[in-house]
Structure 1
């Protein structure tokens, strides 16, 4: 039975990230080929973040207050697989496209954090191991990135067929995931504000937010900028695959790395890697520097993702675990994409992509230095190697 659970969740996570690799990474190229401008693309690719800003906390509470979190996950996977077709049906008119992207995003943005909340709780029961399951997500992302790069170079319109098919596959797989209860389904209601009583968590969120804005710009415009610099779609697909593979070591050895170096040191290293990566994009982009930037990808997004997911799972009370994972997504993806995509699109339209990446490098350097100073001044995460150590009463106030 345990092997069956591992197989179902492994394939499910592979499919989740295959849908991301097929849609989010290439939808900007689709819009470009339809003649839509950079500013409009920035808004269209960021509307999901705007929707997530308001919808994800609601989805999180729905999961926590449902009899099982699985029911909410099933609804989201099914409707995401259907509503993606609204985008091509909207044609090239901006307002219909905006509405279509918003409706698709309403369901799509809840899938990853809900899946994490379910899988992390199963992991704490010993049913599966979260880091192993999450690794299969990156494998799926790598596979689809390469395949999609070749397929979409010739037939970009197939992006919707691929995404819909994968999401409906997620729905079928979700039917077999072990049930995880929503711990507020009875009378034990807990307010969202409880999460924000942790000073260390607030510091993590602030640092994550700043660096996530730089990642938001990357996800919205890297494919467009790369094509403008003469990088082929096949190379772009290979780069995305490399980026996915470089995440494997951190995910596989996550607990050892966390116990050895601690959350503060891991995220400081990640901040430096962010900065170096934006410097590479700020240089004259070539196939070599493009692929090198994706080799560094394993030191950026996934480090924050894993650290935040584990921190919330261990230190946020059980009645708010799904909500906590949703807030992680809001901070790391929604708000970051709004600022990085929308405002970044306006900035790039005026000053160009190369100057934009110079600015991102400066932001990364200042944010990393700021987080280090904040940790020292407020004595949070004071060089401890244990998860959550050094948080004192701030962590205790959220523990189960």
Structure 2
């Protein structure tokens, strides 16, 4: 029988990722139907990443210095549930939409990494198991992706009502999450810059960024491109759900994979899968290959996400754990989305989506080879095994 803490966190994670599946996966289509161009959509869907460059480090510091990290989580979930309504209010006017997306993103971007920081600390104390809790996030994402694909095919404007209700549910659930202290609240103050003294982490961030650029482009434009290629909204929803389910084995058995293969081999494998996915989009996008690309999704984003989360939770000092998780999100989502979404949108507007995915495939292959060569030359990760973690 699961404990109350496990139940609350499991439902909370399901709701958090439901909100992502509802909003992020379909907001591009909403904007397209509102008559907004690809370049403008790239900017609008990437503004959250721009906000994140400044806001996420600040949220991290505030969380580490708050009496409890939970206080900041409550503020962010409640404000996000209200701020999402600014987007339909802005209509199809670019500047008001930009402001609305920025204000919503200001609160939304902090929720995932802060939730991870809290849950990982609870996991290290034996209260819950992080990989299991995170799996429920993907369950929620999968469920809502299928439902949203069918619902939004007829009622796209309900995206805001559903997102708001789910985020408010997150706020209510956050009230019951066990308290986790901000470790700088009454002790020494640790400068965030000191986190970059870890050479392994800097190399991880560089490799992560190179592949996150492609993910940023994918999350911003895959639905638009797929629809242009004749793939229905229903198939898009099914693909997103399959992508979520494909992550389950990697999350459930992550610790076994981590102990057996090590962080280097896991991330090299993931780099190859990234590259294969972009090749499918560049050369052969059909309903079958679209579904196949989401079958492969489990080998991409989540592996980097889990490896970075575990690495930061283990190696970064406790006074900077929340800040470290914020930096993970900033590198993997914010910076990657700025380059992939914003600049990728400009590139796609001039040269087409197919050409953009081809460029990303080449980048993915080169980045994976570079990561391997750096490790082979300097042995940065070769000796990093489970006993050291």
Q: Could you state the TM-score of these two structures normalised by the residue count of structure 2?
A: 0.99
Distance 1:238 1:380 in 2: 40
Distance 2:96 2:384 in 1: 51
Distance 1:76 1:313 in 2: 22
1:258 correspondence with 2:258: yes
The correspondence of residues 14-53 of structure 1 with structure 2, limited to 5 A, is 14-53=14-53
Indicate if the aligned counterparts of 1:258 and 1:387 stay in contact, CA closer than 8 A: no
Tell me the secondary structure at the aligned position of residue 298 of structure 1: helix
Residue 163 (structure 2) aligns with = 163
Displacement of 1:388 in angstroms is 5.0
Residue 189 (structure 1) aligns with = 189
Residue 115 (structure 1) aligns with = 115
**Cα deviation per residue 1:135-171 (whole Å; 9 max; x = unaligned)?**
0000000000000000001010000000000000000
Residue 124 (structure 2) aligns with = 124
Q: 1:113 to 1:84 in 2, by over 3 A?
A: same
RMSD: 1.0
Indicate if the aligned counterparts of 1:83 and 1:104 stay in contact, CA closer than 8 A: yes
**Cα deviation per residue 1:264-300 (whole Å; 9 max; x = unaligned)?**
0000000000000000001231100100000000000
Displacement of 1:39 in angstroms is 0.1
How many residues are treated as equivalent by the alignment?
389
Indicate if the aligned counterparts of 1:381 and 1:388 stay in contact, CA closer than 8 A: no
Distance 1:384 1:124 in 2: 20
Displacement of 1:378 in angstroms is 1.8
Distance 1:332 1:48 in 2: 13
Displacement of 1:2 in angstroms is 6.7
Distance 1:148 1:387 in 2: 43
- Structure 1 runs (4+) deviating above 6 angstroms are none
Indicate if the aligned counterparts of 1:46 and 1:342 stay in contact, CA closer than 8 A: yes
Indicate if the aligned counterparts of 1:271 and 1:364 stay in contact, CA closer than 8 A: yes
Residue 394 (structure 1) aligns with = none
Displacement of 1:353 in angstroms is 0.4
**Cα deviation per residue 1:347-370 (whole Å; 9 max; x = unaligned)?**
100110011111110000000000
1:358 correspondence with 2:358: yes
1:219 correspondence with 2:219: yes
Q: 1:388 to 1:214 in 2, by over 3 A?
A: farther
Structure 2 unaligned runs (5+)?
A: none
Q: 1:316 to 1:2 in 2, by over 3 A?
A: farther
Q: Could you state the TM-score of these two structures normalised by the residue count of structure 1?
A: 0.96
Structure 1 unaligned runs (5+)?
A: 390-400
